């Protein structure tokens, strides 16, 4: 029983490590409240990306969309990005944005924390750029 519990704890920590690595590499926050303070200071919307480390579509969205140069530059110029794991980080972002489907991206106005737009599922680079350009 101890072996099974140890394996499960190790697996959970490895899942979280991937998101931490992505966030560090891409300059995404891992905590909503910290991102909110930065968004309010810079008067930029929050781009809250809700994923799961176990989700192949989330990994694909990260690699083939979010990490692409044009997308990364647009995000940096227009949003305060934060990425959270739907299951492991529930205490690190508001319950309003707990999504049943992943990946989901919420674009949030920082002053009143109102939802500007919600994008669900994997989007290719061009589609996601169009989505971001439409956020007002």
- pLDDT in tens for each of the 136 residues of the chain? 544 433 433 333 334 468 999 999 999 999 999 999 999 999 999 999 999 989 999 999 999 999 999 999 999 999 999 999 999 999 989 999 998 899 999 999 999 999 999 999 999 999 999 999 999 7
Q: What pLDDT does residue 6 have?
A: 38
Candidate CATH numbers 3.50.50.60, 3.90.550.10, 3.30.300.30, 3.40.30.10; the one for domain 2-134: 3.40.30.10
Q: What pLDDT does residue 1 have?
A: 56
Residue 51 DSSP SS3:
strand
Q: Give 3-state DSSP helix, strand, coil % of the chain, rounded to 5.
A: 55, 20, 30
Phi/psi of residue 113, nearest 5 degrees: 55, 40
H helix or E strand, kind and range, residue 46: strand 46-51
Q: What pLDDT does residue 8 have?
A: 36
CA distance 129 to 103: 16
Residues contacting residue 98 through CB under 8 Å, at least 6 positions apart: 50, 86, 90
Tokens of 67: 């990490």
Q: What pLDDT does residue 9 have?
A: 36
Q: What pLDDT does residue 136 have?
A: 79
Q: What is the 3-state secondary structure (H, E, C) of 73-90?
A: HHHHHHCEEEEEECCCCH
How much is the pTM? Answer: 0.86
């Amino acid at each position: 029983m101890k072996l099974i519990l140890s394996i499960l704890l190790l697996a959970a920590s490895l899942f979280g490590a991937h998101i931490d690595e992505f966030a560090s590499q891409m300059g995404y926050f891992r905590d909503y409240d910290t991102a909110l303070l930065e968004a309010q200071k810079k008067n930029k919307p929050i781009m809250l990306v809700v994923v799961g480390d176990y989700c192949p579509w989330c990994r694909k969205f990260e690699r083939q969309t979010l990490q692409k140069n044009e997308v990364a530059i647009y995000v940096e110029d227009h949003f305060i990005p934060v990425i959270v794991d739907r299951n492991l980080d529930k205490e690190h972002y508001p319950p309003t944005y707990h999504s049943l489907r992943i990946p989901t991206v919420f674009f949030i106005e920082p002053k009143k924390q109102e939802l500007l737009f919600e994008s669900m599922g994997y989007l290719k680079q061009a589609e996601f750029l169009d989505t971001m350009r439409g956020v007002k």
